Structure 1
Amino acid sequence: MHGNNDSEGLTQAVIEKVSGAADPRVAQTGAALIRHLHAFIRDVRPTQEEWEAGIAFLTDTGHMCDDKRQEFILLSDALGVSMLVDAINHGDDPVATESTVFGPFYHPTEEWPQGADISGTMTGTPLFVSGRVLDNRGNPLAGAVVDVWHADDQGFYDVQMERLEGKDAGRAWFRTDGEGRFHFWTIRPSPYPIPNDGPVGKMLAAQGRHPFRPAHVHFMIQSDGYRKLVTHLFEEGSPYLDSDVVFGVKPSLICEFTEHQGGVAPDNRRMDGEWRSLNHDFILTPLADAA
């Protein structure tokens, strides 16, 4: 075919090429990508220099990715894309615990026994975390995997701290007991900025946005026959709840990190000074019920 150099003709010619894919989903997504990407270019009308700057931005984003940092996930989070994908794929079960973004700081870790202190070399206010894992009919899920990770009281994850030399801190996974219960000790996390020394940070600065997230603990919970849950619990009263840079806060996920002074903790541990407790039940959707 000749003569497709006009705007509309070019777009249609590219769509026709990618729509011939053998896999219908590849054909669908390819055509949609070309349609929307070309529409964006027509809307913005970039100069050649601006187009080259965009290519350089994506190239720099790739260069920032390694086994400890995923700049493309960070970009997706900061543009609200991660939460949009989450909204499309969840939310059909009004009883289940709401999900939120996965984030760029997860990595697999080891199983720990119930009641363990997972803070490692992290220092800060002790935090006792407990809860149950249930199905959407209120039945406890025994043997469910509760995977947790969080930042320290300075806003850093273990993977960001070279002094840990590969040792996990503030992350572990547990199996629920026969009544679906779990509990562990760690330290109270703080609000923190997402990594802003790379392309995503430059983008936020150009957009006049701050890079901060409110204090939270990540949870990924799995049980055979149930939809995997990826979520956070946010500390009530934390700064940035109304302006989370990755748009991940949902009202149902804001919880009280209850303050205590001394006394005896729920696991009979005697405490001195300030400590906090967080108790929350997580509800999973059976795969048979999932849309």
Structure 2
Amino acid sequence: MEATPHAAAEAALTEQVVARFADTPDPRLRALMQGLVRHLHAYVRECEPTEAEWFAAIQFLTDTGKMCDGLVRQEFILLSDTLGVSMLVDAINHRQSTGATETTVFGPFYIAGMPDRSAGENMALTPGTPALVHGRVFSADGTPLRGAVLDIWQTAENGMYSGQDTAQPTGNLRGRYRTDDEGDYAIRTIVPVSYPIPTDGPVGQMLTSTRRHPWRPAHLHFMIDASGHRRLVTHLFNQGDPYLDSDAVFGVKPSLQVAYEERPADHPLARRFGFDGPFREARYDFVLDPVPKAGD
């Protein structure tokens, strides 16, 4: 079927815009910009937004930028997360894993420079169900990784992160732990709770308008670094959480679920880590991918 004059003119416009990027010196930037133009123009041709709808889309993005404060609130990451784009980028960038622990979204609430903590130190400065999360960190060949740094963060029982919630003490439920000579780590904390992502901005309006819920299943964030290995960004999700199958940001993977088992006050781990009553224990071993050597 022959293209109409209008369709031909619209296609010609797309190619004209693509051609304007032909002299971009960086070939990767050139490919990214030309691909963006082609796909964005294809979306417009498929959906045919009215001028008012397109202006509303621009206003939505403008409002999203205004909600980013550069410290804790990053509405664009939240938008990427809720559209599943963050998880798609994550999947594409970890296709070559050699059996390492699975990755998931970074999230918008990480804060750098949180306290260095000793093994088993309590990072919970607010109430909750006491918990011990511990295990080992290995290389893909089974070698324990000494001195691996585990940067951890989670919400308080009110479902908010320190920094996001200014009433919480600085560094609450955040910290940097290190593995010992055997690759062991131990984190004293509280059992994570499920929580809604912020809904007071454009992303919340989008979820409401599309009848989507804003809830994330309970989880603990990890960013793990070890010399000679790829950084691992992942979560540990509470087994049995009601939102595991409908995570608002599509981040759940079955391999990342852990059970928080009840332990009595006289349990050996209670004495070792200073619990003065019953607590929950979760155990998980992480595996990191080595950085490929030159020529691999």
* TM-score, scaled to structure 1: 0.94
Residue identity matched to 1:280:
Y
2:164 to 160, 165, 168: 160
Aligned to 1:69: 73
Per-residue CA deviation, residues 162-203 of structure 1 (Å, 9 max, x unaligned), is: 1236x1100100111101111121111100000011000000
1:115 equivalent to 2:117? Answer no
Aligned equivalents of 2:21 and 2:162: distance in 1? 43
3-state SS of the aligned residue for 1:278? Answer: strand
1:261 equivalent to 2:282? Answer no
1:226 equivalent to 2:262? Answer no
1:279 equivalent to 2:280? Answer no
1:14 equivalent to 2:17? Answer yes
1:41 equivalent to 2:44? Answer yes
1:30 to 33, 46, 63: 33
3-state SS of the aligned residue for 1:201? Answer: helix
Gaps of 5+ in 1: none
Aligned to 1:197: 200
1:176 equivalent to 2:179? Answer yes
Change (3 A) 1:163 1:132: same
Per-residue CA deviation, residues 93-140 of structure 1 (Å, 9 max, x unaligned), is: 2421000000001011121111110002x2110011111110011100
Cα deviation for residue 37 of structure 1 reads: 0.2
Residue identity matched to 2:196:
P
Aligned equivalents of 1:186 and 1:24: distance in 2? 47
Cα deviation for residue 267 of structure 1 reads: 5.6
Alignment RMSD, CA only?
1.9
Residue identity matched to 1:50:
E
Aligned equivalents of 1:270 and 1:30: distance in 2? 55
Aligned to 1:146: 150
2:90 to 59, 73, 86: 86
Change (3 A) 1:95 1:244: same
Aligned equivalents of 2:184 and 2:52: distance in 1? 57
Cα deviation for residue 156 of structure 1 reads: 1.1
Count of aligned pairs between the two proteins: 287
Aligned equivalents of 1:101 and 1:6: distance in 2? 41
Deviates more, 1:155-164 or 1:267-276: 267-276
Deviates more, 1:23-32 or 1:280-289: 280-289
Runs (4+) of structure 1 exceeding 3 A deviation are: 269-274
Alpha-carbon contact 1:114-1:182 (below 8 Å) kept: yes
Cα deviation for residue 91 of structure 1 reads: 3.8
Aligned equivalents of 2:255 and 2:11: distance in 1? 46
Alpha-carbon contact 1:261-1:272 (below 8 Å) kept: no
**Higher strand share goes to which structure?**
1
3-state SS of the aligned residue for 2:266? Answer: strand
1:133 equivalent to 2:137? Answer yes
Aligned equivalents of 2:245 and 2:41: distance in 1? 34
Aligned to 1:56: 59
Gaps of 5+ in 2: 1-6
Residue identity matched to 1:15:
V
1:214 to 214, 217, 220: 217
Aligned equivalents of 1:264 and 1:238: distance in 2? 26
Change (3 A) 1:173 1:270: closer
3-state SS of the aligned residue for 1:266? Answer: helix
